[in-house]
Amino acid sequence: MAQPTGIHARRAALKLVDAVLRRGETLEQSASGALRDVRNQADQALARAIAGEALRWLTDLDALIDSATKQRLPQDAKPRSVLRLMLAQALRLETPPHAVVATGLPLLSGGPRRLAHGVFSTLMKREVALPETPSLPLEVTQRWGKGRAAEIASGLARPPEVDLHIKDAAQTANWQAKLGGVSLAPGHVRIPRGTAIETLEGYAEGAWWVQDLAAMIPTALLGEGWGHALDLCAAPGGKTMALAAAGWQVTALDISKRRLEMLKANLKRTGLKASAVRADALTWEPKHKFDAILLDAPCTATGTCRRHPDVLHRIGPRQIGDMVEVQRTLIARAAEWLKPGGRLVYAVCSLEREEGEDQALWTTETLNLEVKPITASDLPADVDATPEGWVRTHPGLLPESGGLDGFFIALLIKR
């Protein structure tokens, strides 16, 4: 019997969600295996969209499923997983219910198929709807605090638009007009998602690169280049390019060969120059000290939850603790490589206090570094520094403009 059109995309979406929830993989890590049998790019995009929306709204989808079953389905039961995908399509992607049924039920057989059909039909007859913003998993809400979690969740209702970092900030208005976007800061243009980046004007000639607005702040804090800068954990190169465009002599360090090749390709496309070094920052020793160091440290990346909703379901205390130890080692090494009076920017795309505020306190108490307070003039409009002089962003900020990723950023000076 011929399979319904679109079944491959749904089967791939099921594999993606299963890899995140069962094995703790990222969506990107699981994509190569899950999408192996999906040849059509449109179907690959559909599989990613279904999985992404199912993970973004997982808590609310589960609540709907539980409201229509007499006996609660186990969290890892296949009918629950399939129903999550079916409801995500019907309630978020506006797929007609008959198409959802035709492509969803073949993922099951026997009694589970009848169960899923019954639950889905019941919910459609009730004309159920999802809340205005996603409900976060209970453990995430407990970790972030109820009020803060609600603020963050307000920025997660939809995937984000695309931010571009303009190589020549003086040309921001020009590129805003050409690309039909909006600008929230000099050197920044935000455009709608959904367009193939490589086809946009300015891509081939390297006039800009993709980089979230929050990720632009760390390099901006180092200002115009006047000496040697080190970009630790540099690939794929957004911050390296920003430092080079500002006039710094940049050493870009990363351990990953594949990601370092991406960095080199980005430098070539933009015509910017940096010295790329493949090495482990935990063992590498530089030949000289630096005037400025940017440490965008390895982290749990929970601040990227609006574009990577899998982090809401993969990250817990163990992963946070592991990252804290790595970060402290890297901060201590970076402090050794900094000239007296030199600047160190510590940044993480994490919403966890242990990786942000607690690290800044540990740094100033333990190392020969002191905080240089960040001021409003250093930041995009409507992004404020904390009373301590740090920066903390999250997806719920700038709601009228589409939000931004969650970052913690501190500017430190070597005594």
Position 194 scores a pLDDT of: 84
- Contact in structure between 8 and 34 (CB atoms under 8 Å): no
How does pLDDT run across 196-243, given as a tens digit for each residue?
A: 899 999 999 999 999 999 999 999 999 999 999 999 999 999 999 999
Query: How confident is the model over 339-393, as pLDDT tens digits?
Result: 999 999 999 999 999 999 999 999 999 999 999 999 999 999 999 999 999 999 9
Q: What is the mean pLDDT of residues 240-251?
A: 98
Whether residue 87 is found in the same domain as residue 223: no
413 φ/ψ angles, rounded to the nearest 5 degrees: -115, 135
Domain boundary among the residues 125, 158, 182 is at: 125
Q: Say if 328 falls within a structural domain.
A: yes
Identify the domain containing residue 84 by its residue range: 7-125
Q: What is the CA radius of gyration of the chain?
A: 23
pLDDT of 3 higher than 80: no
Given pLDDT bands bounded at 50, 70 and 90, which one contains residue 265? Answer: very high
pLDDT band for 4, please (50, 70, 90 cuts): low
Residue 34 located in a structural domain: yes
27 found inside a domain = yes
Which residues belong to the active site?
349
pTM for this model (two decimals): 0.94
Query: In this predicted model, what pLDDT tens digit does every residue of 19-60 receive, in sequence order?
Result: 999 999 999 999 999 999 898 999 999 999 999 999 999 999
State the Cα–Cα distance between residues 254 and 258, nearest whole angstrom: 10
User: CATH code at 18?
Assistant: 1.10.940.10
Does residue 151 sit within a domain?
no
Which secondary-structure segment (H or E) carries 264?
A: helix 257-270
Residue 1 banded pLDDT, cuts 50, 70, 90 = very low
Last residue of a domain, one of 125, 156, 187: 125
Tell me the CA distances in angstroms from 284 to 85, 237, 253, 334, 339, one per residue in order. 46, 19, 9, 11, 17
For residue 284, tell me if it sits in a domain.
yes
Residue 335 lies in a domain: yes
Residues 217, 107 within the same domain = no
- Least Cα distance to 217 among 29, 48, 382 occurs for 382
User: Domain for residue 329, yes or no?
Assistant: yes
State the average pLDDT over residues 173-197. 94
Q: Are 199 and 328 in contact (CB under 8 A)?
A: no
d(CA 254, CA 234): 6
pLDDT at residue 413 greater than cutoff 50: yes
Looking at 81, 109, 125, the residue that finishes a domain is 125
- Whether 120 and 218 map to the same domain: the answer is no
> Does the pLDDT value for residue 2 go beyond 70?
no
CATH number at residue 263: 3.40.50.150
The pLDDT score that the predictor gives to residue 283 is 93
The domain total for the chain is 2
Mean of the per-residue pLDDT values of the chain: 95
In a domain, 277, yes or no: yes
